[in-house]
Amino acid sequence: MTSGVYVHDALLYDADQELLGDAVPFLRAGVDAGETVLVACTEPTSALLREALDGQPGVGFGSSEAVFRRPAATILAFQQLLERELAGGRRVRVLGEVAFGEGPASWSEWMRYEAVINHAVARYPFWGVCLYDRRRLPDEVVAAAERTHPYLRTGGTRVANPRYLDPDAFLRQLPDAGPDPLEAAQPVLEVQGLTSLWQLRQQLHARLAGSAFASETIGEFVFAVSEVATNALRHGRPPVAVRAWVTPSRVLCAVTDRGAGIEDSFAGYLPDRGEPSTGGRGLWLARMLCDHVTLHRTADGFTVRLATATRPS
Q: Please write the tens of the pLDDT for every residue from 128-170.
A: 999 999 999 999 999 999 999 999 999 889 999 999 999 999 9
The pTM score is: 0.92
Instruction: Considering the chain, tell me which residue range(s) the CATH 3.30.565.10 domain(s) occupy.
Output: 184-309
Cα 176 to Cα 211: distance, rounded to the nearest angstrom: 30
Q: In what order do the strands lie in the sheet with 92-96?
A: 59-63, 36-41, 92-96, 126-133, 7-13, 151-154, 157-160
- Give the tens place of pLDDT for each residue, 249-284: 899 999 999 998 888 999 999 976 444 445 568 999
Q: What is the 3-state secondary structure (H, E, C) of 98-127?
A: CCCCCCHHHHHHHHHHHHHHHHHCCCCCEE
Of 284, 217, 299, 288, the closest CA to residue 251 belongs to 217
Cα 120 to Cα 117: distance, rounded to the nearest angstrom: 5
Instruction: Considering the chain, tell me which residue range(s) the CATH 3.40.50.300 domain(s) occupy.
Output: 7-173
pLDDT at 12 over 90: yes
- The arrangement of secondary structure in 7-173, i.e. its CATH architecture, is 3-Layer(aba) Sandwich (3.40)
The pLDDT value recorded for residue 276 is 47
**Which has more pLDDT, 248 or 167?**
167
Evaluated on CA atoms 205, 211, 216, 217, the torsion sign reads negative
| pLDDT category of residue 313 using cuts at 50, 70 and 90 | very low
- The arrangement of secondary structure in 184-309, i.e. its CATH architecture, is 2-Layer Sandwich (3.30)
- Give the tens place of pLDDT for each residue, 73-82: 999 999 999 9
Cα 297 to Cα 34: distance, rounded to the nearest angstrom: 48
* Amino acid, res. 312: P
- Give the tens place of pLDDT for each residue, 39-65: 999 999 999 999 999 988 999 999 999
Of 280, 288, 224, 276, the closest CA to residue 76 belongs to 288
The pLDDT value recorded for residue 3 is 55
